[in-house]
Chains A and B, each alone.
Chain A
Amino acid sequence: MRMLSIDDSSVVRKIIRMAAEVLEFELVEAEDGFEGLAKLDELGGQVDIILLDWNMPGMNGLEVLKRLKQNEKTKRIPVMMVTTESQKENIVEAVKAGAAHYMIKPFAMEELTKKIMECLGRGTI
């Protein structure tokens, strides 16, 4: 399994790296939306799940999500938003834009790995 993490926080990416190790997933990391889309393009869209931050410089996560869902190669990849945006309207907006799951920071590692597996339709680990 290959997971793409798009988050401008190095600490959050490190936490996601730990989750990837627990799940024995390959992890690809990007610091912002542009880099994330570029890496996805390099990989030919061959990613099983994307963990996406909302507030990032340049292009926010919602815009990245919309672009992913407009692209034939990437529209079927499940995207889980991982963000501090906990307002109901944000969650609704993300789900409408195609987010498969929504994870609000702060979160525990067990919760993160569980939601990743749920997002992949694999239930709990």
Chain B
Amino acid sequence: MMENSTGPAQRLEWPVTMFVEALKDAVATMAGITMESVDESFLTGEATMGGMMVLQGDPSAVLMILADQPSVAAIVTNMTGIDSGELTIEDLRDGLSELVNMVAGTVRGRLTGSGNRFKLSSPLAVTGEHLAVYAKRHVECSLSRFVAGDIWLELKIFYI
């Protein structure tokens, strides 16, 4: 059990809506793109990039943002003003990692005020064809999907 200055830490109930709002806000603020929430059954393309962070608390969670490369390129282009053709794969990995970092940082800032504390790992990025994440059967996962034109993002939280 983690402790803070005001006593034993509360057991965390990861607020999915807070992550959703933090993601929408980060993309809108940094890239000027308004992402709309869509139903889980909404068909998205195949993920080829993922950004992730471990949120170490009680319980811990893994935060992932998945997308295809054109979606990440569109967001990073809007963030940096650099044409997508001039962005390198490193730029895209870095941009997606930063996005995850901002979402996790925002949620941590909001939760800390209510006594909920957790640590953050460094952000990581994964790339590849047919990217999929599998967890053990007992690991719960929340899934949120967003679109803006051809751009789509998936936000997954695994409760580990």
Interface assignment of A105: CB less than 8 Å from any CB of chain B:
yes
The CA-CA distance from A104 to B29 in the complex, in Å, is 12
Q: Which label, helix, strand, loop or mixed, suits the secondary structure of the B interface?
A: helix
B-side interface residues, number (CB < 8 Å): 26
Whether A108 pairs with B29 at a CB distance below 8 angstroms is yes
Instruction: Give the contacting residue for A87; candidates B29, B82, B109, B122; CB below 8 A.
Output: B109
> Binary interface profile of B, 12-30, with partner A (CB < 8 Å = 1, else 0)?
0000000000000110011
Instruction: Give the contacting residue for B98; candidates A85, A105, A108; CB below 8 A.
Output: A105
Question: Closest chain B residue to A56 by CB distance?
Answer: B122
Binds A, one of B35-43, B87-95, B130-138, B149-157: B87-95
Closest-CB distance, A4 to chain B (whole angstroms): 19
User: In the complex, what residues of B have CB within 8 A of residue A9's CB?
Assistant: 94, 97-98
Give the interface size bracket for A toward B: 10 to 19
A1-37 interface with B by 8 A CB criterion: 9-12, 14-15, 18
The CA-CA distance from A18 to B102 in the complex, in Å, is 20
Chain B residues within 8 Å of A, Cβ to Cβ = 25-26, 29-30, 76, 79-82, 90-91, 94-95, 97-98, 101-102, 104-106, 108-110, 112-113, 122
| Leading 5 A-B pairs by shortest Cβ distance | A84-B105, A86-B109, A14-B80, A106-B29, A106-B26
Chain A residues within 8 Å of B, Cβ to Cβ = 9-12, 14-15, 18, 55, 83-88, 104-108
29 A-B Cβ contacts within 8 A?
Answer: A9-B94, A10-B90, A10-B94, A11-B79, A11-B91, A11-B98, A14-B79, A14-B81, A14-B82, A14-B91, A15-B30, A18-B81, A55-B101, A55-B122, A83-B105, A84-B104, A86-B108, A86-B109, A87-B108, A88-B113, A104-B109, A105-B26, A105-B98, A105-B101, A105-B105, A106-B29, A106-B102, A107-B29, A108-B29
